[in-house]
Amino acid sequence: MSPQVLYVVGAVVALALIVEMVRRRTLREKYAVLWTAVGVVVLVVGLAPGLLTAAADLLGVEVPANLLFFVASLTLLLVSVQQSAELGRLEERTRTLAERCAELGAEVRRLQDDAPGADDRRRRGTDPGP
């Protein structure tokens, strides 16, 4: 079996997975585009191995597969760095929301306490609380 078959099968499986995940709305558009592009590149390399060899020759890489590994690792590295940044941004937003939520909770309680009849409700035990 030629390794090209493996590439093609791998790429088709990956692309099918991406499409299905987009359909189920578990993958946002921006990530779907990225991974589809990666899948298409793998598919092209699988269908036309000459491209890889030509690119390797052009760049002076003796073993074409090494070029593939290099590009693949670099792509994955960049993607995970981007995701780390995204995660950090999300953590910061979560933190801000948590703080705001706490602030508003305190505000609601103060308004409840100031509202007319608050003492009566508390005495009767019908104060809904926070």
Partner 1 sequence: MPALTPRDVPAREGGRAADVLVVVPAWNEAAALPATLAEIRAGVPDADVVVVDDGSTDGTARAARDAGATVLELPFNLGVGGAVRAGYRYALRRGYAVAVQVDADGQHDPADVPRLVAALDSADVVVGARFADRRDFETSRTRRSAMVVLAAVVSRIAGTRLTDTTSGFKAVGPRALAFYAANFPAEYLGDTVEALVIGARAGLVVTQVPVQMRPRRAGAPSQRPWRAGLYLGRAVVALVMALVRRRVPAGEVAFP
Q: Which among 34-42, 53-61, 90-98, 116-124 is the span making contact with partner 1, rule CB under 8 A?
A: 90-98
Other Cβ atoms within 10 Å of 10 Cβ, number: 14
Among 106, 115, 119, 121, binds partner 1 (CB under 8 A): 106
Residue 60 or 130: which CB sits closer to partner 1?
Answer: 130
Question: Which ranges of 2-117 would DSSP assign to H, the alpha helix?
Answer: 3-23, 29-47, 49-59, 64-114
Q: How far is the CB of 111 from partner 1 (least distance, A)?
A: 9
Q: Are 2 and 27 in contact (CB under 8 A)?
A: no
Cβ atoms of 76 and 48 closer than 8 Å: no
Using an 8 Å Cβ cutoff, are 18 and 39 in contact?
yes
> CA 94, CA 80: separation in Å to the nearest integer?
20
Is residue 95 involved in binding partner 1 (CB under 8 A)? yes
| Selected binder of partner 1 within 81, 96, 118, 122 (CB under 8 A) | 96
Q: How many residues bind partner 1 (CB under 8 A)?
A: 15
Per CB under 8 A, does 78 bind partner 1? no
The yes or no reply on residue 114 touching partner 1 (CB under 8 A) is yes
Q: CB 118 → partner 1: shortest distance, Å?
A: 13
Give CA separation, 54 vs 5, 40, 109, 115, in Å.
19, 18, 70, 78
Interface contacts to partner 1, rule CB under 8 A: 91-92, 95-96, 98-99, 101-103, 105-106, 109-110, 114, 130
